[in-house]
Structures are given as C-alpha cells and as structure tokens.
Structure 1
Amino acid sequence: MSEPALVFTHHGLTLAVPARLGREAFSTGQVMPLPGGHAALLGLTEVRGRAVPLLNLSSLTAHEAPASTPLPLSLLLEVSGTYLAVPVTQVLGVFSVDAFLDPGTLLSGPLDAGPHEVQALGAQALLTAVRSRLALT
C-alpha cells in the first residue's frame, strides 16, 4: 500500500517524511540560540507566534554540511503533538512511496519517491533523539 511522502533536500541529502506530518514550509526568520544549547538544535524560531525548535539535521544524521551555511527555508512538522522545524534546501513535492520503513529509525532507505531516491527520516526517532539530547518534555 502506498503512502504520500513529503520530499525535500537538506544540503544535498534527499529526505522524505510522511506527508501527514508536514504542516507548512516557511521562510526561516531569526533563529534565537539557546544558552548551553546542544548541537542537535540550531535554536528557536518563531512560527505563527509559537517558539519552535529548529533542528540541526546535519548533527542528528551525521551528514556533513557546509559550515555555517544557513538555509532560508524550513518545514514545520508535527510529531506526536510536538512541533519541530527542519531547515531545508528545497521542497521537491509530495510523492508516493510503497511504504515507510521503521519510523523508529532515524534514517532508512533508500526508497523510491516518484523520480527521487530518498532516505526516510523517521519522525518518531527524530523526536526521541531531540528529547533525549535536549530533555524536552
């Protein structure tokens, strides 16, 4: 059974999350660093009046990205009632995938999503990693 996937790039890495988790793409505004912040978090950004953690996917996925190259676009995801912002290079669209692999695994794949070969970003694993590293409740 196929499932819609939101496909995007992050510094050359093509990723996908279940489309049902995507809330909106937005221009990344000011990022407020947190004192003593962890490498997994770039800081907080404001989305429609709400402070949202802006994740450092390069740190979380161990994917090397150009140093200090901010991305002007982010995706707002809602995972288990928690909002997370993910900086992206480009949103490629919504494509069908046969099935997502284990949502508890941070990166899995490759999967075919339309014309793209993607790594599935396990949203639940992403939330768990952020919570464990930042003690979010």
Structure 2
Amino acid sequence: MKQRRNVSVKFVNTVPPDIIPILGSSVLKKKNSLLFLVMAPYSLEDKFETPDTQVTKGFTVRSKHPTQSTDEMKTMIQDARIAASYNLLNFSEILDQNRNMIFIGYKKFNFIFLLVFYIYGSIILFILKINIIYCVFYK
C-alpha cells in the first residue's frame, strides 16, 4: 500500500548538532546509501511515520557542566532500569577528544618529518638550515 503526503519543505545548508545515531542499522553501511533527515515538530510525528520507516527519537540538552549532567543522566537511566538500546553522548567531551587527537597527530607528524630528514642524511638538514637562515637574514 503506497502512501502519499504533500508537504511544504524548506531546504537549508546546515546540519543540526544533534543528529541521532541509528542504532543497529545497516542502512548507512551499504554502498552509496543516503540519509534523508526530516525535522518536524513532535506534534506532527504521526503524520510522517510510516510502517516501513525507521524512526529514531532523541533529544539534546544544553548544560554549563556537561560532564556532570551526563553522569547524572546516566545514573537516572540506570536507576530506572531502562533496557532499551540508547546512546548517551557528551558532545563537549567528543569535541575535546578530537581537538586532542589533532594536536597529537600534528606533533607526531612534525616528529616523523624531522626524523625522516635526519635518517636521510645531515646534508639535507644542513641545506635546510642554511635556507632558513638565508631567508631570515634577508628579511
């Protein structure tokens, strides 16, 4: 049975910060798969939900102390003995981890870069040092 619904849509060039991960889904693992994200008021949920559509529900919380809030939410979920699959993500922590990875990767890259020059001989390092001194001298 096909269903149709005419809706007015507005396409925007933004990605909302709270895209919900699809739990246990292989939809995005398939080659050339696409994700079409529809944002609508929660009151219209029953008008967009179809039997063959996978719907994931979630929400975003803004907090001045994200780590503390995440810990408190985790405790509430455990105390309520919720057995359903869920993801509780601390976006601030994820951003901090990515910043740290970029920093470490950059430092490691510089070390490897210098190590490669050192292994290939002191002549390359000597020429490189002369060029740097030359550039600085004539500024």
| Fold agreement, TM-score > 0.5 | no
Larger Cα-atom Rg: 2
Structure richer in strand, relative to its length: 1
Using CA pairs below 8 Å that are at least 6 residues apart, which structure has the higher relative contact order? 1
TM-score normalised by structure 1 residue count: 0.24
With normalisation by structure 2, the TM-score equals: 0.24
